[in-house]
Every structure is written in structure tokens, then in C-alpha cells.
Amino acid sequence: MMNRFLCFTLLGIGLFATGCSKPAPAPAKTETPKAGAPVVYYKVDPATAGTVTGKILFTGKAPAKKKIDLDEDPQCAKLHKEAVYDESVKLGRKNALQNAFVYIKKGLEDKKFEPPSEPVVIDQHGCAFVPRVIGMQTGQSLKATNSDPVTHNIHPRAKVNREWNQNQPEGAEPAVRKFSLPEVMIHVKCNIHPWMKAWIGVVDNPYFAVTGADGSFELKNVPPGTYTIEAWQEELGVQEQQVTVAASGKASAEFTFKGE
């Protein structure tokens, strides 16, 4: 009898304790990003977009022309009837500086732009990379072709992105690659022909240009804001300027690189 009474007593105490205890708090819910969620790209309002224009000039003594010795590969020499010169510093009329890369370096950090669907093409023609300087967006395709009757090698020596290296004999299929991170600039070489050089500017926005023979550049469809514009030249270095683009306005920047 005593044992039965003791059992009922202990059972009652257990039920009372259970009824008075607070329930354990539910674990906090954490939001996890959905896999494969679409990226939201920034869309420029054409009603307020502006333009940045400018020119890049050279001052000082023009560098002496350096003849390229193509006799290292007789097949390359046969492709040219006249002498070929190095174009590390190429000047146009009125001291215009050609093959300078210009882009918006700062001011767009809160915006993500969709990469173009069309690839940027670099050709190996006349035993040279054509064009010598190109610009492209992150995520955009680079298509490397060989239109020479000579075996070439394209070797972008990237430091931020992944470096790659591919031989392309005559008639080879184009090599198609992408760069996922901004990098200004990527030096491109041919391991077979050491005089062949090119440069690739990879940026995360569509606002870039390479100057032509007149040294001018134009960046269109720029949203209003204040930006840092950088100009790069392979031998003469870099320069920066700050510009402010008003709604539907125009801004300008002029750079002058000095020689010796």
C-alpha cells in the first residue's frame, strides 16, 4: 500500500512540474537564398542618361620607330611587303594618342550590368594581334581567331582571372573564353612569335572605349552621377579624372600623356 501511495505521489509531482515548465523556444528561422535566383541587372533610363566625351593626346618627343624582325619566321615575313614597326606608342594626327583604353573606374559600384551576348573578337592577322587593345565586360565572350597561314599561340597572362594558353594552327576553330572578374589590363602574348602583343581591358560595366587615330573617345548612355574616369596606355601609364554627368547632360575629360 505504501509503495502504491508513493508511486502516485511521485507521478503527481512529475505532472505538476511538466505543466508549469515553459516550452522550449522554437529555433529561429533563417532565410536562405534560393538557388538559381535570377540576377537583377540595372537598366539605364534613356530619358536621363548622359554622355562622356574626350580626347587623349601626347606631348614631348615622339618615340623612335622600332622595326620588328620578322625573319625569325619566314612565313610571317612573306605576309608583309613593307617593314613592320612596333606600335607600343602609336600617334595619330595632331599628337593624338591611339590605342589608349578609357573606362569608368569608380561610381557604379551599386549597379550590375548585363554582359553583351555578342563576343569580342581578337584575330591573329599578319602575325599580329588585331586589334592590339580591346575592351570587354565581365561575363562576355572573347573569340580568338587565326586568319594566318601560320600556327599561332594566344596566351592571355591574366593575374586576377584564370590564365590560359592555346595553340591555333591554320584553319583552327576559334577559341572562346570568358573572364569573370574585372582586370585592367590583361597582357596577351604569342609564345611562338614574341613580338606579338595585345591588351584586354575587362570591366564590370559597359562604359569603356579604345581611342582611334584621332585620340577621341565617347561613353554613351551613362546614368547621372559622379565618376572617376581612367585612361591607360601600355607604355605611358595611367591617369584619372573625375567628371559629373548631369541628367541628360554631357561631360568631358581630356588626358595628355608625356613622352621623354
Over range 57-68, report the average pLDDT: 93
User: Quick one: what percent of the chain has pLDDT higher than 90?
Assistant: 81
CATH number of 42-112+206-260: 2.60.40.1120
Report whether pLDDT(52) > 50: yes
The residue ranges of every structural domain in the chain are 42-112+206-260, 114-204
Q: Which has more confidence, 203 or 29?
A: 203
Report whether pLDDT(20) > 90: no
Average pLDDT score over the chain = 89
What pTM does this model have? Answer: 0.84
pLDDT tens digits, one per residue of 198-252 = 999 999 999 999 999 999 999 999 999 999 999 999 999 999 999 999 999 999 9
Over range 63-86, report the average pLDDT: 93
Domain 114-204 fold = Immunoglobulin-like (2.60.40)
* Helix residue ranges per DSSP H, 41-130: 74-78
For residue 103, what is its C-alpha cell?
573606362
- The contacts found for 147-154 with CB under 8 angstroms, 24 or more apart, are 147/123, 148/76, 148/79, 148/124, 149/75, 150/73, 150/75, 150/76, 150/79, 151/192, 152/124, 152/127, 152/190, 152/192, 152/193, 152/196, 153/190, 153/191, 153/192, 154/122, 154/124, 154/129, 154/188, 154/190
- Compute the distance between CA of residue 193 and CA of residue 76 in angstroms, rounded to an integer: 9
Helix (H) and strand (E) counts in the chain: 2, 18
In this prediction, residue 38 has a pLDDT band, given cuts at 50, 70 and 90, of confident
pLDDT of amino acid 22: 47
The residues with which 120 forms a beta bridge, in sequence order, are 142
Measuring CA to CA, which residue among 75, 91, 61, 65 is closest to residue 213? 91
pLDDT tens digits, one per residue of 152-202 = 999 999 999 999 999 999 999 999 999 999 999 999 999 999 999 999 999
Over range 56-84, report the average pLDDT: 93
Fold agreement between 42-112+206-260 and 114-204: yes
